[in-house]
Amino acid sequence: MRLTSDRMKLARYIGSGEIEIQDADIPACPTGGLLIQTEASGLCSGELMQWYMDKKIPHVLGHEVSGVVIESQDSRFPVGCRVFPHHHAPCGTCELCATGRSVHCSTWRATKLVPGGMAEYFAVPAANLTDTIRTDQLRPRDAALIEPLACVMKALRLAPPTESTGSDVPHNAVIGLGVMGLMHLIARGTRGVGYDLNPSRVEWARTLGLNAELSTESSDVKFRSIYVCPGSQAAFDFAVSLAEPEATISLFAPLGPGQSLQVPQSVYFQDLKIVHAYSCGPSDTQAAKTMIENGELRAEQVVSEFIELEDLPGKYQQMKRGEILKPMVIFNN
């Protein structure tokens, strides 16, 4: 495909919780890789964490992304096909990859999209193709959800939900009904209950036909598997209060810098298990793609705003303040 310009627009994090829309050169297709014209890119809640983002300056946003190949140096991904590329991809051959711990592979940590997915065009280096998936049959806005949903798939893999036996009472709880909490709950369906302090988020979940309740200090209902989406001590404490003996608590987000998780003595005497779920690997992205292909998740369920790139700075601040659920940029270049 012949480009009509060598310049493009992108969204760059500039520090102190601010982003700007800037002009930049369109990247070249990397050796053995792909050049993508972006079709959709979601704003990740992790990109709102100032302490995390300030370490990355200057940084182009966007890793929840999908697009169409306009230049290819890999026959598996011909020009014109649609793809989801993970921004990190493992080597697939080291001991960590062989034992299912690909997010700790040194190649995984070194790989990235160039300059990032919240741009009109981006490059996918050859090393990222170990976790790049063709998505020709998916709407771009749905394909852009593969990465966040894959993170949920990893959490469910490491802390498998408990199936109810002979009872309609759910045995799984999700704490926090932002986008990631909603995805956890959607993946569980009627077998899970979601909790949040924000009435509007509870109502959003209920309009999707999900079980959702306002969080309280204590509850008589207990659960075997509990997924904690906010990175806070209060959310963890609430999870402990909901736990049955030998329950599993999955921590989906980190606490802030300098904060240490305080684990009460009762966790020992109840035999509670605490696991973590950081990012996702190729098996998780495949599982997420399958779920979306099956129609179990659509963008409209978790995206509240479909916007143009120029609207992102304002929507970024609104999402940060909790005024909207999630924006996704739809590119019409």
Instruction: Give the residue-averaged pLDDT of 257-270.
Output: 96
In degrees and rounded to multiples of 5, residue 74 shows phi and psi of -145, 120
Q: Which value, in Å, is the radius of gyration of the alpha carbons in the chain?
A: 20
Read off the tokens for 25. 């050169």
Contacts of 124 (CB under 8 A, 6+ apart): 30, 33, 34, 35, 36, 83, 85, 113, 114, 132
Element (H, E) at 154: helix 146-158
Q: What is the pLDDT of residues 287-303, one digit of tens each?
A: 999 999 999 999 999 99
Taking the complete model, does pTM exceed 0.85, yes or no? yes
Lowest-pLDDT choice from 120-129, 168-177, 194-203, 227-236: 168-177
Instruction: Give the residue-averaged pLDDT of 265-285.
Output: 97
Quickly state the pLDDT bin for 217 (edges 50, 70, 90).
low
Quickly state the pLDDT bin for 71 (edges 50, 70, 90).
very high
pLDDT for res 190: 65
pLDDT at residue 218 greater than cutoff 80: no
Q: What is the pLDDT of residues 80-139, one digit of tens each?
A: 999 999 999 999 999 999 999 999 999 999 999 999 999 999 999 999 999 999 999 999
Q: What is the pLDDT of residues 151-190, one digit of tens each?
A: 999 999 999 887 655 556 678 999 999 999 999 999 987 6
Contacts of 223 (CB under 8 A, 6+ apart): 162, 170, 171, 172, 173, 193, 242, 243, 244, 247
Instruction: Give the residue-averaged pLDDT of 322-333.
Output: 92
Instruction: Give the residue-averaged pLDDT of 37-58.
Output: 94
Contacts of 156 (CB under 8 A, 6+ apart): 184, 187
Calpha distance 248→159 (Å, rounded): 7
Domains of the chain with bracketed CATH: 7-146+281-330 (3.90.180.10), 160-276 (3.40.50.720)
